[in-house]
């Protein structure tokens, strides 16, 4: 039985991974989470207390991190400030958590010789033109655009350097846009679903032609399990499920599935520096580690996600008004600056 330390395990992807590991392994899991606005205690309700323990704390707390890492066999590192829009208004906390936090974890796994897996994003590669036939691969040069993606890129480079310079046993994965249950209502898909559920109009940035490469969060979890168990130290694996779609088309599907007119949304001012397109080539993960995504039908994935938000109002309602107030403030600051 492996003892796994999951950082950020009360956030969206982290908690889906913890649920996945409870079902698909006999591991004992400790979640280290600062319980920021992005975490939700209710996400942990159905996890067995005999196998999952929550420690509320900061990955940038060197003493706490050292003690916890020393008691585990593997660290799977999800914790981050994860929202691009927030990074444009308050970048400092992104540097502290994403860069300094990752540094403290790396130092601890180095001291205690513990296996490390670093969760990252396709945004480190920058963006692609809409008609570019290339997709991101493991060798695409780094070219991040936002404070968020540049701090994730920084953390990836730290991991690579700690492997090369200190020989730590670490893998990295860069995944495309996730969707599914337990995602914070600040993010595109849950924001639009919960807008419709609360009688507000969905909000589309710019003209909506920006493309994201969607993957169901359950497929991300199975890929991470495969990499942690079979990945080669020092290697980076790109995780994607061939799910490219532009934002307008995703929004139209959501509106249709929810019984609304497909044009019942507002166009709002575009995100500054908005990346145009992300697209992942996950051939290496599929051919070397034999992973395949299972939840690739986006319409049925969105339909299940709509059902989940419809049936879990107590999970998201407390944070909804706060999130929309934050968006209103950010919109005002962006309009004043342009």
Q: Which residues are tagged catalytic?
A: 122-123, 148
- Per DSSP, what are the bridge partners of residue 174? 120, 238
The tokens describing 236, both together, are 């980076």
- The CB-of-124 to ligand TDX minimum distance in angstroms stands at 9
Query: Which H helix or E strand runs over 77?
Result: strand 74-77
Select the residue interacting with ligand TDX from 191, 220, 226, 252 (CB under 6 A).
191
- Nearest residue to ligand NAD on Cβ basis: 11
Select the residue interacting with ligand TDX from 7, 27, 86, 177 (CB under 6 A).
177
Tell me whether residue 249 or residue 288 sits nearer to ligand TDX (CB atom).
Answer: 249
Q: Does 39 bind ligand NAD (CB under 6 A)?
A: yes
At residue 43's C-alpha, the angle toward residues 42 and 48, to 5°, is 100
Tell me whether residue 201 or residue 286 sits nearer to ligand TDX (CB atom).
Answer: 201
Which of these ranges, 8-16, 201-209, 293-301, 323-331, lies near ligand NAD under the rule CB under 6 A? Answer: 8-16
What are the C-alpha distances in Å from 307 to residues 133, 173, 194, 229, 255? 35, 29, 11, 33, 13
Which of these ranges, 2-10, 190-198, 229-237, 262-270, lies near ligand NAD under the rule CB under 6 A? Answer: 2-10
For residues 207 and 267, is the Cβ–Cβ distance under 8 A? yes
- The CB-of-16 to ligand TDX minimum distance in angstroms stands at 14
Closest CA to 105 of 69, 152, 80: 69
Closest CA to 189 of 197, 199, 179, 181: 179
Collapsed DSSP state (helix, strand, coil) of residue 146:
coil
Which of these ranges, 77-85, 155-163, 226-234, 256-264, lies near ligand TDX under the rule CB under 6 A? Answer: 77-85
Q: Does 147 bind ligand NAD (CB under 6 A)?
A: no
Select the residue interacting with ligand NAD from 94, 101, 172, 254 (CB under 6 A).
101
Binding partner of 118, given ligand NAD, ligand TDX, none, CB within 5-8 angstroms per partner class: none
Query: Which H helix or E strand runs over 337?
Result: helix 313-337
Q: Does 72 bind ligand NAD (CB under 6 A)?
A: no
The per-residue DSSP string of 211-225 comes to: EEE-EEHHHHHHHHH
Q: Does 220 bind ligand TDX (CB under 6 A)?
A: no
């Amino acid at each position: 039985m492996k003892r796994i330390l999951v950082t950020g395990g009360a956030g969206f992807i982290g908690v889906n991974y913890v649920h996945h590991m409870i079902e698909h392994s006999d591991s004992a899991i400790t979640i280290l989470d600062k319980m920021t606005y992005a975490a939700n205690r209710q996400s942990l309700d159905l996890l067995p207390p005999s196998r999952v323990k929550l420690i509320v704390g900061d990955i940038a707390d060197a003493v706490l991190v050292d003690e916890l890492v020393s008691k585990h066999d593997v660290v799977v590192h999800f914790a981050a400030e994860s929202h691009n829009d927030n990074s444009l208004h308050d970048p400092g906390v992104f540097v502290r958590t994403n860069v300094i936090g990752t540094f403290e974890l790396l130092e601890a796994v180095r001291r205690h010789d513990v296996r490390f897996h670093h969760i990252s994003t396709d945004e480190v590669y920058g963006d692609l033109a809409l008609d570019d036939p290339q997709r991101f691969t493991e060798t695409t040069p780094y070219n991040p655009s936002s404070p968020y993606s540049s701090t994730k890129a920084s953390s990836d480079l730290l991991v690579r350097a700690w492997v090369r310079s200190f020989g730590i046993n670490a893998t990295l994965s860069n995944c495309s846009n996730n969707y599914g249950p337990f995602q914070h209502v600040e993010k595109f898909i849950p924001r639009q679903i919960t807008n419709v559920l609360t009688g507000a109009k969905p909000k589309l940035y710019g003209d909506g032609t920006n493309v994201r490469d969607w993957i169901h969060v359950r497929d991300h979890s199975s890929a991470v399990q495969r990499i942690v168990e079979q990945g080669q130290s020092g290697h980076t694996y790109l995780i994607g499920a061939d799910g490219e779609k532009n934002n307008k088309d995703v929004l139209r599907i959501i509106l249709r599935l929810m019984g609304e007119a497909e044009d019942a949304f507002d166009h709002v001012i575009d995100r500054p520096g908005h990346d145009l397109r992300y697209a992942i080539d996950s051939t290496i993960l599929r051919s070397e580690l034999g992973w395949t995504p299972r939840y690739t039908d986006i319409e049925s994935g969105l339909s299940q996600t709509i059902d989940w938000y419809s049936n879990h109002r107590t999970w998201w309602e407390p944070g909804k008004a706060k999130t929309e107030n934050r968006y209103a403030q950010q919109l005002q600051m962006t309009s004043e600056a342009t």
